[in-house]
A and B are shown apart, each in its own frame.
Chain A
């Protein structure tokens, strides 16, 4: 009965490299959300996906960031050419329907450090 699984737990990248963050939702959940938490700040919405579809990416930076949730496999948040300002904790959450009463189940997060 695994919860939301994120890996890696910690990721270190040098400026200009690519970062790939993975999220496997809870079993039976087809809705995935990505949030970013900067040091001493709250959670900022980035993107909401269903299987094979991006539903809301209003919180995603226009450049260098992309997300996908393929039919098979985990959701991937990809950051190209990382910069120091990308250092943050990235949380994935899932829900079963995406409807109002649903609560989010969160993973443990990936701490990205850009050197």
Chain B
């Protein structure tokens, strides 16, 4: 079975605080891909990052960083020095190599960054 869990339904932080969004996944495959998407209030989904299961190196992109740990099946997302424009719903997603072609999305975490 494939499943993505985002335990945090909603998070509120004050601008400039750091915030971490959790993502835990389940898969039987050894080859799989993990994604984060951002859905701002305007509604469209914006791609943020893609990782494959063989690359556990953490990644940093500006204020964004991702911590991939296969041992705990987690792919957490941290925003450093959050800004109001970061307010959005963030989705973690899983795509398995050998189980269909669909991407499985988590339920999303709504992040509100207050000024």
- Physical interaction between A and B: yes
* Cβ-defined contact, A105 with B47, below 8 A: yes
Does B73 reach chain A (CB closer than 8 Å)?
no
Interface of chain A, helix or strand or loop or mixed? strand
Q: Which residues of B contact A59 (CB under 8 A)?
A: 102
Number of interface residues of B (CB under 8 A): 27
Question: A55–B43 Cα gap in the complex (Å)?
Answer: 27
Known A91-B45, A100-B31, A103-B50: A42·B107 in contact at CB below 8 Å: yes
**Would A41 and B107 count as touching, CB distance under 8 A?**
yes
Which residues from A are CB-within-8-Å of B101?
Answer: 31, 33, 48, 55-56, 98
- Interface residues in chain A, defined as those with a beta carbon under 8 Å from any beta carbon in chain B: 31, 33, 35, 41-45, 48, 55-56, 58-59, 89, 91, 93, 98, 100-101, 103-109, 111
Q: Is B30 an interface residue (CB 8 A)?
A: no
In the bound assembly, the distance between CA atoms of A100 and B43 in angstroms comes to: 25
Do A33 and B103 have beta carbons less than 8 Å apart? yes
Nearest Cβ on chain B to A33's Cβ, whole angstroms:
7
Complex contact A89–B43 (CB within 8 A): yes
Which B-chain residue is minimally distant from A48 (CB atoms)?
A: B101
